[in-house]
Amino acid sequence: MSKLTVAKFGGTSVADHQAMLRCASIIKNDPSNRLVVVSASAGVTNLLVRLTQSKVALPEQAEIIEAIRKIQFNITQHLNCKDELNHSINNLLDELTTYAQVQSTSACSRIADAILSFGEQMSSRIFAQVLQSIGVDGHYFDVRNVMKTNSLYGKAVVNTVELHQNCQQQLAPLLTKQVIVTQGFIGQDEDQYTTTLGRGGSDYSAALLAEALDADDLAIWTDVVGIFTTDPRITDQARSIKEISFGEAAEMATFGAKILHPATLIPAMRHNIPVFVGSSKEPDKGGTKIQQKVDSAPTYRSIALRREQTLVTVKSPAMLHASGFLAKVFNVLAKHELSVDLITTSEISVAMTFDNPTGSTQALLNSTVVQELEQLCEVTVEHGLSLVAVIGNKMQKTNGVGSRIFDTIDGINVRMICHGASEHNLCFLVDEHQANQTVEKLHSALFA
């Protein structure tokens, strides 16, 4: 079969008709783009999130649904088939209205996922028609036919074996004849209920589909020209990176470079599928190619910043020359599904960081966890910290990495340092109010 590229368009890329047309041209210009995965039009999922909450008054529900209708109809009005398309969008919004009413009286996570799925359900239908409008044979496909997950609503886990079988049986034959447009972010459990893979999960969906279809490439089209050496909002010296290895990019995604959903690279790495990240607004400007083998492996590649970190220090004399203490601490964390990011230990204390973003759906460190830890040891919890990750290659084996970094930020109080576990990063914590300054200084020292 000829080359297969899976192309994923993010929310801003499918925000309005102009944006969708630009994406449609990208598909048209390269016939290897045969599977298209879309996010919801920008803003729609955020509106839907409000409807997943309980006790939302009826007038507010109606207002939200109208706002969503407006976003979608603003796109469909430019299309010849708008009546038919509007009819199917209205049907979906009727269904959504019913779910929202149920949810507002008795909220549950299963209905929440059903509600959240409507953005992608609509954008994929519309995008298929936008493709048709420029002469590309685009067809809608419901990803829930293939993306089978468990029932962990809000962060469902995909059954990759089933996905592979389903894709080979159902999707692969279609892709030989037409361009298929499907949804990111959503799936379906064994009981046929809709699930979601977590906010921002469309990138991950696209990577899973690329893997299941043995695709040659995955293209993630977003609103920035690839991955940058650091967040361009922090310093205007930040620049796009042409090429980066899977290992480095995975560290960047994990440590806060918001550009890709952190899990996206896992399927790509497993199956060795190169990932391109570019801007659908400026496709000619190129972007970043992420792949296994790259020509250069500089010591310093980028700096990532993750805000709102919580530092937990547990301390117990019982740790002195004892075994099993850490296991108990981690049992408590595992029970609450908390994932630790950085960790350092001394003889009688352990310091750990937790991601703590506002509005996150992931498990957060709460007072119950702290109380359980307090049964074992003395616990100190500190907020208002930022995690800075300097990412590169062979960092643990290169002379002078530590001194170069810490000399540069002399005068800034570094709260915790992690170095050596990964060849690709050196991470540390600083106070929130010094975070930008830290990144700026490092960026001009390491990338000038």
By CB under 6 A, residue 201 contacts ligand ASP: yes
Q: Which is nearer to ligand ASP, 119 or 392 (CB)?
A: 119
Tokens coding 264: 């996206």
By CB under 6 A, residue 12 contacts ligand ASP: no
Site for ligand ASP in 265-304 (CB under 6 A): none
Q: How far apart are CA 289 and CA 141, in angstroms?
A: 28
> In the 8-state DSSP scheme, what is residue 448?
-
Judge contact between 96 and 90, C-beta under 8 A: no
Terminal Cα distance for the chain, rounded: 45
Q: What is the DSSP string of 178-208?
A: SEEEEESSEEE-TTS-EEE--TTTHHHHHHH
By CB under 6 A, residue 245 contacts ligand ASP: no
The single residue among 45, 182, 386, 438 that binds ligand ASP, judged by CB under 6 A, is 45
Closest listed residue to residue 9, CA positions, set 212, 223, 264:
223
Q: How far apart are CA 10 and CA 185, in angstroms?
A: 11
Site string for Mg ion, 145-184 (x = CB under 5 A): ----------------------------------------
Site for ligand ASP in 114-133 (CB under 6 A): 119
By CB under 6 A, residue 182 contacts ligand ASP: no
By CB under 6 A, residue 200 contacts ligand ASP: yes
We find the least distance from the C-beta atom of residue 205 to ligand ASP, in angstroms, to be 8
Q: Which is nearer to ligand ASP, 10 or 283 (CB)?
A: 10
Q: Which is nearer to ligand ASP, 187 or 200 (CB)?
A: 200
HSE-up of 194 (CA within 13 Å, CB side)? Answer: 21
Q: Which is nearer to ligand ASP, 10 or 267 (CB)?
A: 10
Q: How far apart are CA 446 and CA 448, in angstroms?
A: 6
By CB under 6 A, residue 11 contacts ligand ASP: yes
In this chain, which stretch among 12-20, 81-89, 193-201, 302-310 interacts with ligand ASP, using CB under 6 A?
193-201
> In the 8-state DSSP scheme, what is residue 321?
T
By CB under 6 A, residue 187 contacts ligand ASP: no
In this chain, which stretch among 98-106, 198-206, 210-218, 319-327 interacts with ligand ASP, using CB under 6 A?
198-206
> In the 8-state DSSP scheme, what is residue 345?
E
By CB under 5 A, residue 267 contacts Mg ion: no
Q: Which is nearer to ligand ASP, 118 or 428 (CB)?
A: 118
We find the least distance from the C-beta atom of residue 341 to ligand ASP, in angstroms, to be 21
In sign, the C-alpha dihedral spanning 195, 196, 197, 203 is positive
Judge contact between 235 and 439, C-beta under 8 A: yes
Residue 182 binds: one of Mg ion, ligand ASP, none (C-beta under 5 to 8 A by kind)? none
Q: How far apart are CA 111 and CA 114, in angstroms?
A: 5
Tokens coding 312: 């937990």
The Cβ of residue 170 has, within 10 Å, a number of other Cβ atoms equal to: 13
Judge contact between 396 and 420, C-beta under 8 A: yes
We find the least distance from the C-beta atom of residue 263 to ligand ASP, in angstroms, to be 11
By CB under 6 A, residue 184 contacts ligand ASP: yes
Site for Mg ion in 192-211 (CB under 5 A): 200
Which residues bind to ligand ASP, rule: CB under 6 A?
A: 10-11, 39-40, 45, 119, 184-185, 199-202
